[in-house]
Copies of this chain bind each other. A is one copy, B any other.
């Protein structure tokens, strides 16, 4: 497990990945949980070399978001990762990722503008830009990403394909706490009462799937029942959306191509979750 902090070291190393060796990459913002570790495990299973990056990317946070309070604990992260075969940990700083005079940005139109993109202007521009940079630096065959950030995956798959990067995303399922809450570094913000309320995200998704199984295909009717469950639990809905899983366009009827996504404030903490129907 070798730590790399210099971009030239990372670039020089990754240009020399031997032909025939598969390289897996897990980009993270640190404060790792079992969700991240499942991505590392998957990369270990499928690749010869695994690279993990830990970097809280400032350009994907809005001016009123939680950049400064975002949880960080490198020692804890390294201890977690030591249980896996991680060949390289890339730990860049803001100074080397966004030096003075930095002026280049990657934008992905349409799929970046809806859902979380509508609530967090500029968020996916920051995400697409940092991932383009990291992919160039790490030069991986596969990038392992969790479906909890479902829109992020769609945005990044579009970017990688449109700009002809060779890297492909491996989508990995959401990892949940025993009671159903999707794992997230931001769960740390929740107090005891909020931790309980936060179950409304996964529970309302389960309700939606159950209703669909029973034959309900009208998003408005399902959404109304989800909303009631969330309100009762004390959540404040940012959005609930039934969208086509590839285009993220709203659908009129839920079917096997539909993904249900939601963002809910629990106190001051904004949480997201999603599910197939």
Contacts and interface: CB of A to CB of B under 8 A. Distances in A.
A62 to B, nearest CB: 19
Main secondary structure, interface of A, reads: mixed
Interface of A: 7, 11, 15-16, 18-19, 101-111, 128-129, 132-134, 136-137, 158-159, 162-166
Among A7, A129, A162, find the residue whose CB has the most chain B CB atoms closer than 10 A: A162
Contact of A136 (B103, B128, B133, B164): B164
A112 B29 CA distance: 31
B103 A110 contact: yes
A100 B275 CA distance: 27
- Kindly report how many copies of this chain are found in the complex they form together: 2
B166 A11 contact: yes
Residue picked from A128, A133, A136, most chain B C-beta under 10 Å = A136
A159 B162 CA distance: 17
Given A16-B19, A19-B16, A166 B136 contact: yes
Given A134-B164, A136-B165, 7 more contacts: A11-B166, A104-B107, A105-B106, A105-B107, A106-B106, A107-B107, A136-B164
Nearest to A165: B136
A164 B106 contact: no
Contact of A11 (B102, B104, B164): B164
Which of A107, A163, A165 lies at the interface centre, i.e. has the most chain B CB atoms within 10 A of its CB?
A163
Q: Which of A103, A110, A111, A137 has most chain B Cβ within 10 Å?
A: A103
Given A16-B19, A19-B16, A103 B133 contact: no
A164 B14 CA distance: 12
